[in-house]
Amino acid sequence: MPLVNTTEMFKKAYDGGYAIGAFNVNNMEIVQGIVEACKANNSPVILQCSSSARKYAHPLYVVKMVEAAVEETGLPIALHLDHGPDFETCKSCIDSGFTSVMIDGSHHDFETNIEVTRKVVEYAHERGITVEGELGQLAGVEDEVSVSAEKAQYTDPDQVVEFAERTGVDSLAIAIGTSHGAFKFKPGQKPQLRFDILEEVSRKLPGFPIVLHGASSVMPEYVEMIRQFGGSMDDAIGIPEDMLRQAAALAVCKINVDSDLRIAFTAAIRKHLAENPTHFDPRQLLTPSRDAITAVVAHKIQTVLGSANRV
């Protein structure tokens, strides 16, 4: 099976009340770690790459690594651009083999967001590529751009129908209180999501796939491992898993996870180096990290997403 777009996987996820994991990739071990878990659980998956990660890994390497994963696993895999900043970047990804792109016009005013999203949709749909748009703004850091919690904005449900109709997007990312990074709530603050907004959006757009960004749960075992082996992630706090499960059972068809992978990858390296101070072979350092990625993704598939055995 070649790389797929997200149409079929989102339709099945919506109807089945589960979500597809969209995991950020930027090197070979992360790609391998993710697909190993998907293979073991017979799960479809979205491998997504931000424009800065694409620059880091080189555009050609990203496509070739993901194509290798498709060939090796035979799974339905979509290669998706995460937070596409403009038309040119989306076009470049589509032209180089991505099967899905996000155009993130959420920082623009409503009309400009529609205009740039519509332009990407026209180019993408002529080539069989699916497009994710965004309405509302999450707090946190993405692609080195930081949005403060005060500036973040919940999605306005009154805008979603017009946005979907005028742009033709295939899925919509909304802001309901999640945020990017490992520090999603202030210390002592009770994690809360605006499920009322999610429900209102899905009433207005029945059957339409919704996307949740900033959905890492900041798994305590890896935060503890980082602390135990000389690092510090004090006050890291993520989205509780029961809330993610609730979202996946509703209209959310795509759940984005990056920070949880980063934390596990780093924790495993710290542990390995602390326990094996004489090691200097990168393969010895990165094997535990790759295994940690597999463990995180398997956990997500089984206990958060519900995407096991959905191929």
Binding site for ligand G3H (CB under 6 A): 24, 50, 52-53, 82-83, 142-143, 180, 258
CA pair distance 125, 226, nearest whole angstrom: 44
Contact assessment for residue 21 and residue 305, using Cβ atoms and an 8 Å cutoff: yes
- 86 in active site: no
User: Per CB under 6 A, does 82 bind ligand 13P?
Assistant: yes
How many of the chain's residues bind ligand 13P (CB under 6 A)? 14
User: Per CB under 6 A, does 213 bind ligand 13P?
Assistant: yes
User: Per CB under 5 A, does 213 bind Zn ion?
Assistant: yes
Tokens 């920070």 appear where?
A: 259
Q: Which residues pair with 147 in a beta bridge?
A: 140
Residue closest to Zn ion (Cβ): 213
CA pair distance 99, 164, nearest whole angstrom: 20
Which of 62/311 has CB closer to ligand G3H?
Answer: 62
Which of 36/258 has CB closer to ligand G3H?
Answer: 258
Which of 213/299 has CB closer to Zn ion?
Answer: 213
Structure tokens at 80: 């998706």
Question: Whole-number minimum distance, CB 301 to ligand G3H, in Å?
Answer: 19
Question: Whole-number minimum distance, CB 128 to Zn ion, in Å?
Answer: 24
Distances (CA, A) of 139 to 70, 171, 227, 246, 306: 33, 20, 25, 21, 27
Task: Give the contact letters, 160-199, x = binds to Zn ion (CB under 5 A), - = no.
Answer: ----------------------------------------
CA pair distance 221, 70, nearest whole angstrom: 30
Which are the contacts of 232, defined by CB distance < 8 A and separation ≥ 6?
226
- Pick what 52 binds: ligand G3H, Zn ion, ligand 13P, none; C-beta below 5 to 8 Å, kind-dependent: ligand G3H
Q: Which residues pair with 172 in a beta bridge?
A: 133, 210
Which of 83/272 has CB closer to ligand G3H?
Answer: 83
Radius of gyration, alpha carbons of the chain:
18
Ranges assigned E (strand) in 166-228: 171-174, 210-212
Of these residues, 82, 104, 170, 258, which one is catalytic? 82
- Pick what 143 binds: ligand G3H, ligand 13P, Zn ion, none; C-beta below 5 to 8 Å, kind-dependent: ligand G3H
Alpha carbons within 13 angstroms on the beta-carbon side of residue 37 total 26
User: Per CB under 6 A, does 300 bind ligand 13P?
Assistant: no
Question: Whole-number minimum distance, CB 80 to ligand G3H, in Å?
Answer: 12
Question: Whole-number minimum distance, CB 279 to ligand G3H, in Å?
Answer: 28
CA pair distance 62, 81, nearest whole angstrom: 11
79 SS3 class: strand
Residues that bind ligand 13P (CB under 6 A): 24, 82-83, 180-181, 213-216, 256-260
Q: Tell me the catalytic residues.
A: 82
